[in-house]
């Protein structure tokens, strides 16, 4: 049984792009939050219909939030509570904490296996034998004090390029409050979703444009053993 995080002053701001597969992933991830962080507030970010924007979604989620500490997370990211606890402690030193080192992309089969796990269980990093790993990405999951988020005005909604939104947010916050902290000893897991090879995206291309181009990756496997 994993350790429960009892803090009641945390708002979890969720970036969720609606799709059948993403919605199924979120139902499991939401159960995990509610089980492991029962006193935290979950705020799902809205965005204009047919005009997805992570920046808009997170900023709208923040407007609903009541907590003094924000967890900013993509809806398909799975965590262990130890990394969150350490990340909350690290906020005493840093203005923003990324509470993991590597992100592990798991394939569709492994994602379905994860669905069957009790949401209260710790995930063993060796549980999945087929995955792709991205080292030290600047995105997916942040812990930040509300006061810092609001001071810099949250995410810049004028930025539409995938991942540039995360980097801009981190750099502006670091310019005002100092360097961010990172807990490299922990992992997080990215559940399988739309069949596009996201880890190999070309920097600067809009996500919507990538999807419109319909890259011929239909048969590409995520079973990349490392």
CB-hemisphere CA count at 13 Å for 184? 3
- pLDDT (tens digit, 9 = 90+) per residue, 117-130? 899 988 876 666 55
| Per-domain residue ranges of the chain | 10-213
Answer whether residue 223 shows pLDDT above 50.
Answer: no
Q: What is the pLDDT of residue 158?
A: 92
**Per-residue confidence at 170, pLDDT binned at 50, 70, 90?**
very high
Four-CA torsion 20, 135, 107, 26, nearest 10 degrees: -30
Answer whether residue 44 shows pLDDT above 90.
Answer: yes
Cβ burial 115-136 (10 Å sphere, 16+ → b, else e): eeeebeeebeeebbeebbeeee
For domain 10-213, the CATH class is alpha beta
């Amino acid at each position: 049984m994993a350790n429960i995080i009892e803090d009641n002053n945390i708002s979890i701001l969720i970036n969720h792009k609606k799709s059948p597969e993403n919605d199924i992933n979120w139902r499991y991830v939401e159960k995990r939050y509610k089980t492991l962080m029962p006193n935290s507030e979950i705020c799902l970010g809205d965005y204009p219909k047919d005009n997805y924007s992570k920046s808009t979604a997170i900023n709208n989620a923040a407007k609903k939030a009541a907590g003094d500490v924000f967890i900013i997370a993509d809806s398909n990211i799975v965590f262990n509570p130890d990394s969150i606890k350490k990340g909350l402690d690290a906020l005493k030193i840093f203005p923003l904490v990324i509470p993991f080192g590597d992100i592990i992309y798991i394939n569709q089969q492994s994602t379905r296996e994860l669905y069957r796990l009790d949401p209260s269980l710790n995930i063993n990093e060796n549980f999945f034998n087929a995955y792709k790993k991205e080292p030290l990405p600047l995105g997916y999951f942040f812990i930040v004090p509300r006061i810092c988020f609001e001071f810099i005005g949250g995410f810049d909604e004028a930025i539409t390029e995938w991942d540039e939104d995360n980097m801009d947010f981190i750099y502006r916050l670091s310019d005002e409050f100092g360097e961010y902290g990172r807990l490299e000893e922990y992992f997080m897991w990215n559940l399988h979703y739309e069949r596009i090879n996201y880890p190999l995206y070309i920097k600067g291309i809009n996500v919507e444009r990538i999807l419109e181009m319909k890259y011929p990756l239909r048969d590409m496997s995520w079973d990349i053993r490392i």
